[in-house]
Amino acid sequence: MSISINRDSLTHGLDLPNLTGIEIGPLVNPIVTHDMSNVKYVDRASTAELREWYCQDKDINVDDIMEIDYVWGDQSLSEATDGKEQFDYCIASHVIEHIPDLITWLEEISSILKVGGTASFAVPDKRYTFDILRSVTTPAEVIDCYLRKLRRPSFRHIYDHFSNHVDVEINDVWDANFDASQLRPGWSAEQAFAACRDALDNDKYVDSHCSVFTEDSFFELLTTVSALGLLGFRVKRNFPVSRGRFEFFVQLEKIDSKLPPVEKHALFLKSLEQMQSCALSLDFCANVACFPKLYYSTTGMFSETESVELAYETAGSQQNIKFKLPMMDDVSLRFDPCECEAIFEIGDIIYNHAGKDHPVALSSVSAFQDIDDVQKQNSRLLVHTQVGKNDPALLIRV
């Protein structure tokens, strides 16, 4: 996925020029640059150590590795950053899955954020990555790592990472006929065990995916951690996995640490309910199989970075299609039913925001581009696209 898509989702709603934040693990492609915000860079090693580690990696120009401001290794993040709740945001793109002790990591991020500060993560969904054969991380596993206060991947982490690593193509895994059972790991059991021995015999940090998530399992895991009184955040926003992509984006908001655990958990559950219910659903029927797409924007400018795509696979069938959306106020919606000439119908439209269903009148739907005719027939819209056009779109006012 491109850095621009990461940046738009991870920084959504952040007034970067007027905020101070940290980015964890920027390496050579920071999400937030110094000309965008007052940002400090954090990693588990110094700039010099990172350059030494990556000097044999042909894909990394070590001269492009960012200068690290704070080294977050064996010491806590609070210790590394002078122990102050001073930051407005924390960005971490494809870092969370590498963390041996997820609970402590989140606690330490919370410790340096101001109340109301944002922790924003890009998280790979294992169903679309080389982790596809692995089981999702369980509460028992993260609690075990938390109580042992792991600062390095365990032997279990290393072995599971390498012994189940498979090469996959993103377009293949999104194909309806894809069969993951035919995949075979690229590493043998002996090679995976050798990686564990290397970590033991040479006191070596062996980078691994310590946690494995799907979008649903991630929030189920956070729910358990919150119920245990070990999470200082509520859900602010989630950008779900879009068709053809492999990651979701989560923004968490720091809760006042002075609140009792039961109150913090109640705030988490309320925010989770609001996030999970935010969606637009509509009754849909078309004369062609297609991939309907919904764009969302708070500015009225639509881009691929803010869209959700679904599969409508059976032409002529009446289906209720539901687009999961991030929590946003004053949002504009653009519905692209297909990328070809078509005739389609739209029935009931429901917009759920902040846990409440809002019926959308069909009169709130209008042609945007490449639409020839829109007619209302028996509480439904019948829409004909323009001949020879392949990007028909409607605007939906909610």
Is residue 185 scored above 70 in pLDDT? yes
Query: Which residue's entry shows tokens 């995949």?
Result: 183
All CATH 2.60.60 domain ranges of the chain, comma separated, are 278-396
CATH superfamily of 3-141+210-276: Vaccinia Virus protein VP39 (3.40.50.150)
Distance in angstroms (rounded) separating the CA atoms of residues 396 and 251: 26
Residue 175 is which amino acid?
D
Q: What percent of the chain has pLDDT over 90?
A: 73
- For 346, half-sphere exposure in the C-beta direction (CA atoms, 13 angstrom radius) is 29
More confident residue, 327 or 358: 358
Distance in angstroms (rounded) separating the CA atoms of residues 9 and 249: 6
Q: For the residues 259-274, what does the mean pLDDT come to? A: 95
Give residue-wise pLDDT tens across range 75-88.
Answer: 889 999 887 778 99
Least confident piece of the model among 87-91, 221-225, 299-303, 373-377: 299-303
Q: For the residues 300-327, what does the mean pLDDT come to? A: 88
Here the tokens at position 293 are: 């797409």
- The pLDDT of residue 1 is 41
- The pLDDT of residue 43 is 93
- The pLDDT of residue 2 is 46
For residues 111 and 85, is the Cβ–Cβ distance under 8 A?
yes
Give residue-wise pLDDT tens across range 331-370.
Answer: 889 999 998 889 999 999 999 987 789 999 999 999 999 9
- The pLDDT of residue 245 is 87
Distance in angstroms (rounded) separating the CA atoms of residues 96 and 88: 19
For residues 11 and 326, is the Cβ–Cβ distance under 8 A?
no
Give residue-wise pLDDT tens across range 122-168.
Answer: 999 999 999 999 999 999 999 999 999 999 999 999 999 999 999 99
- CATH topology classification for 278-396: Lipoxygenase-1 (2.60.60)
What's the mean per-residue pLDDT of the chain? 92
**Pairing mode, if any, of strands 393-396 and 332-336?**
antiparallel
- The pLDDT of residue 284 is 96
Is residue 295 scored above 50 in pLDDT? yes
Model confidence at 5, in pLDDT bands (50, 70, 90)?
low
Beta strands in 215-355 (DSSP E): 233-239, 247-254, 279-286, 293-297, 307-309, 319-324, 332-336, 343-353
Question: Which backbone phi and psi does 90 adopt, to 5 degrees?
Answer: -135, 130
Q: For the residues 27-45, what does the mean pLDDT come to? A: 94
Give residue-wise pLDDT tens across range 52-75.
Answer: 988 888 889 999 999 999 999 888
- The pLDDT of residue 25 is 93
| Angle of the 215-227 helix axis to the 261-277 helix axis, nearest 10 | 160
Is residue 280 scored above 70 in pLDDT? yes
User: Is the pTM higher than 0.75?
Assistant: yes
| Distance, CA of 91 to chain centre | 12
Q: For the residues 200-206, what does the mean pLDDT come to? A: 95
All CATH 3.40.50.150 domain ranges of the chain, comma separated, are 3-141+210-276
Is residue 199 scored above 90 in pLDDT? yes
- The pLDDT of residue 3 is 46
Partners of residue 23 on adjacent β-strands: 41, 91
